Amino acid sequence: MDTQLNLRRSISEGLSAWLTFEEHCGRRNLFSERYLALPLAQILANNVNGVIEAEHNHPVLTSKGRPGRPAQLDFIVRANGRVTLAVESKWAGASGISVRDVIWDCVRLELAAHHYNCDALFVLAGQRDKVDNLLMSRPFNPDTSRGNPSRVLGLNNAGRSSVNIQSPKRDFGPALHKQLKLYKDISFPRSFVCGTGTQVPKSAPAASFTAAVWHIRPELPAKRHTFFA
């Protein structure tokens, strides 16, 4: 089994077990994206070589002249003077997650992976039925120009997926392009590729907690362009 897959399995299985433990300790009301930070950092520290850094300023999207908090990555791993891994996580809570927010996280990861020439992982955690329903929902399976649905994130032998963000006519296009146009001078990928999602165990009760992990691959330099207002 390759190192990348081992890491995805460790994150998926480790977070799922930790969430189950925390639920039995009566802390379910605390579950959130922020609450995932400690166990995720611990799992990374045990499975990768290098120093784990949290809330790392994004190498591409951080603008000196832009007001407010700079864009950040949840985690990076730095080894031998270079960044080797970038990680973003999302919590599938009662209010749900928009497809635009998920794609924006994946785009941010793609930009970091391209800039650092490193690996990138997207983690989605929550109650099993909420995660499954989210991934099977209409917004996460938008129609292509041919009228066929195309998944944004696939799981468990569903194969990798290439998500085209170029066209503003895609279902998620208007909301996403509104975000992209805030960064007029940045060269974005026309698409990003998600490897086959890893979820351990593959089959679990609907009310159990789970974490799914995807490898985000950078696009080629020739397939990048800016989004103008």
Residue labelled with tokens 């120009």: 145
What is the predicted pLDDT for the residue at 70? 83
Q: Is the peptide bond before 221 cis (omega within 30 degrees of 0)?
A: no
Asked whether the beta carbons of 8 and 198 are under 8 A apart, the reply is yes
Q: Is 197 helix (H, G, I), strand (E, B) or coil?
A: strand
Check residue 63 and give its pLDDT.
66
Helix (H, G, I), strand (E, B) or coil at 120: strand
Burial class (CB in 10 A: 0-12, 13-18, 19+), 41: middle
Which residues partner with 197 through β-bridges? 155
**Could you tell me the two tokens for 100?**
């635009």
Instruction: Detail the DSSP E strand segments found in 131-197.
Output: 161-164, 188-189, 191-194
Whether 180 contacts 131, CB under 8 Å: no
CB distance 196 to 218 below 8 Å: no
Give me the domain span that covers residue 155. 3-225
Burial zone of 152 (CB within 10 Å; 0-12 exposed, 13-18 middle, 19+ buried): buried
Query: Exposed, middle or buried, 51 (CB in 10 Å: 0-12/13-18/19+)?
Result: exposed
Q: How far from 91 is each of 37, 127, 131, CA to CA, in Å?
A: 11, 9, 9
Q: Answer yes or no: pTM beyond 0.85.
A: yes
**90 contacts 134 by C-beta, under 8 angstroms:** no
186-214 burial: b if 16+ Cβ within 10 Å, else e: eebbebbbbbbbbbbeeebeeeebbbbbb
Residue 191 bridge partners (DSSP): 164
pLDDT tens per residue, the chain (229 residues)?
Answer: 477 889 999 999 999 999 999 999 999 999 999 999 999 999 999 999 999 999 999 999 986 556 667 889 999 999 999 999 999 999 998 777 888 899 999 999 999 999 999 999 999 999 999 998 888 888 888 776 676 777 888 876 666 778 888 877 677 778 888 888 888 888 899 888 888 788 887 777 888 999 999 999 888 888 888 876 4
**Residue 135 and residue 76: Cα distance in Å, rounded?**
26
Please give the structure tokens belonging to residue 211: 């974490």
Contact 197, 10 (CB under 8 A): no
Tally of domains within the chain:
1
